[in-house]
């Protein structure tokens, strides 16, 4: 049996995150020791490692909840898991396209900067007037925030 600290250390997850995952039902509540300390078994470690890996791959908590539900029923077809992974792949492709456009715009701004005074600075000018951008990345602003 592992304490919450040891579980977190082995899975690479902070203790408050483990408590949060329990609170929202991704991890079942742990049993308690006589001293009221949370105690976790191998299954909890495996489940937490699954969650951590899925988070590393960018899956949302809701998608992880669905994937965990699917993994709890190993005899069913994997069509739903495949659909969740395909949706995540499409989201990553959208983010890559956005980042590529943002990179190009930043490169263009930097190249156009004459390196003189702020009064003539292309970076400041473009940031102050979105119409000077070569791409319309405004619709992506809400996506840029975590």
pLDDT tens figures, 13-55: 999 999 999 999 999 988 888 888 889 999 999 999 999 999 9
Which pLDDT score is estimated for 68?
96
**Percent of the chain's residues with pLDDT above 90:** 59
Structural domain includes residue 114: yes
Is the model's pLDDT at 61 over the cut of 60? yes
Domain assignment present for 11: yes
Tell me which residue range forms the domain holding 107.
79-144
Q: Do 83 and 140 have their domain in common?
A: yes
DSSP the chain: -EEHHHHHHHHT--HHHHHHHHHTTSSPPPEE-TT--EEE-HHHHHHHHHHHHHHHTT--HHHHHHHHHHHTSTTS-SHHHHHHHHHHHHHHHHHHHHHHHHHHHHHHHHHH--SS-GGG-HHHHHHH-GGGSSS--GGGHHHH--
Place 137 in a pLDDT band, splitting at 50, 70 and 90: low
CA dist 103 and 108 (Å) reads 9
Mean pLDDT of the chain: 88
Instruction: Report the CATH number at residue 27.
Output: 1.10.1660.10
Q: How many domains does the chain have?
A: 2
State residue 70's pLDDT score.
95
Structure tokens at 89: 């792949």
Do 54 and 83 lie in one domain? The reply is no
Task: State the pLDDT at residue 96.
Answer: 94
Q: Which two three-digit tokens encode residue 135?
A: 């791409």
């Amino acid at each position: 049996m592992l304490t919450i600290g040891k579980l977190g250390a082995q899975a690479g997850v902070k203790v408050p995150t483990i408590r949060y995952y329990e609170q929202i039902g991704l991890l079942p509540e742990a049993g308690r020791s006589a001293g009221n300390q949370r105690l976790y078994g191998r299954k909890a470690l495996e489940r937490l490692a699954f969650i951590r890996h899925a988070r590393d791959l960018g899956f949302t908590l809701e998608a992880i909840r669905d994937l965990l539900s699917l993994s709890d029923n190993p005899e069913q077809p994997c069509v739903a898991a495949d659909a969740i992974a395909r949706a995540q792949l499409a989201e990553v492709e959208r983010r890559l396209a956005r980042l590529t456009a943002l990179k190009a715009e930043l490169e263009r701004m930097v190249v156009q900067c004459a390196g003189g005074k702020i009064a003539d600075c292309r970076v400041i000018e473009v940031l102050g007037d979105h119409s000077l951008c070569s791409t319309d990345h405004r619709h992506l602003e809400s996506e840029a925030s975590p």
